[in-house]
Amino acid sequence: MNRKTTSVRHENLTPVNDHNRKNIERNIDDCNRRVGNHPDNCSIYYRRGISYKNIEEYDKAITDFTTAIEKAIKEAAEKSIELNELKNIPAYYFFRGMTYKEIGKYELAITDITEAIRLNDDKTANAHNNYHERGKIYLLLYSGTESSRLKHTYINKALEDFKKAMRLTPFHTAYYQKYNETLVLLALDLIWDTLQPHN
């Protein structure tokens, strides 16, 4: 499969210490200045959203990612081009989804990451990560429900996502590990179901 060499770069979200926090706050200040001069520049809101996410100001991060998305949609309409022709638009959805995940809004997280996958169309070098992260969110939904039917739905969707991530990046051992761990969960669930009394 041919991949775009100009891929969407997923920012490296590192643990925040005092030094990192100062750098992040400087970046936020820089974005605040820039957005005053370039209010329609999507990437400024995206950069600031990443910074807010890093320091766990999730509401502000979601607001900035949403603004970036809205301005990108407007830009695409004005240029009469497809949304996925704009650089970084899948990342706007991906990181808003990951921020929703942080605050426990898993359905919204899946909706956004699914849109990132659609816009990516598996063409960028890091498309595998979208599937991997969505799969992990399905596992969170699986863990949070008592419904046997929903458990099977979520775990099978997680397995499909991990399989897709493995196909896109065959040598990423963490994806195989996650897939195998999920298979074990599924097997245990099936065993548990067979042991339950049925009227």
Question: What would the pLDDT profile of 103-155 be if each residue is shown by its tens digit?
Answer: 999 999 999 999 999 998 877 777 899 999 999 999 999 999 988 889 999 99
Q: Residue 4: beta bridge partners? A: 124
CB atoms < 10 A from the CB of 44, how many? 23
Tokens of 120: 């990516």
What is the distance between the alpha carbons of residues 168 and 2, in angstroms, rounded to a whole number?
11
What is the distance between the alpha carbons of residues 97 and 179, in angstroms, rounded to a whole number?
22
Q: What is the pLDDT of residue 167?
A: 92
Q: What is the pLDDT of residue 171?
A: 84
Residue type, 55: I
Q: 76: exposed, middle or buried (C-beta count within 10 Å: 0-12, 13-18, 19+)?
A: middle
What is the distance between the alpha carbons of residues 55 and 51, in angstroms, rounded to a whole number?
7
Q: Encode pLDDT of 21-68 as tens digits.
A: 889 999 999 999 999 899 999 999 999 999 999 999 999 999 999 999
Per DSSP, the three-state class of 80 is coil
Which conformational region is residue 26 in: left (phi greater than 0), alpha (psi within -120 to 50 degrees), or beta? Answer: alpha
Q: What is the pLDDT of residue 130?
A: 95
Per DSSP, the three-state class of 11 is coil
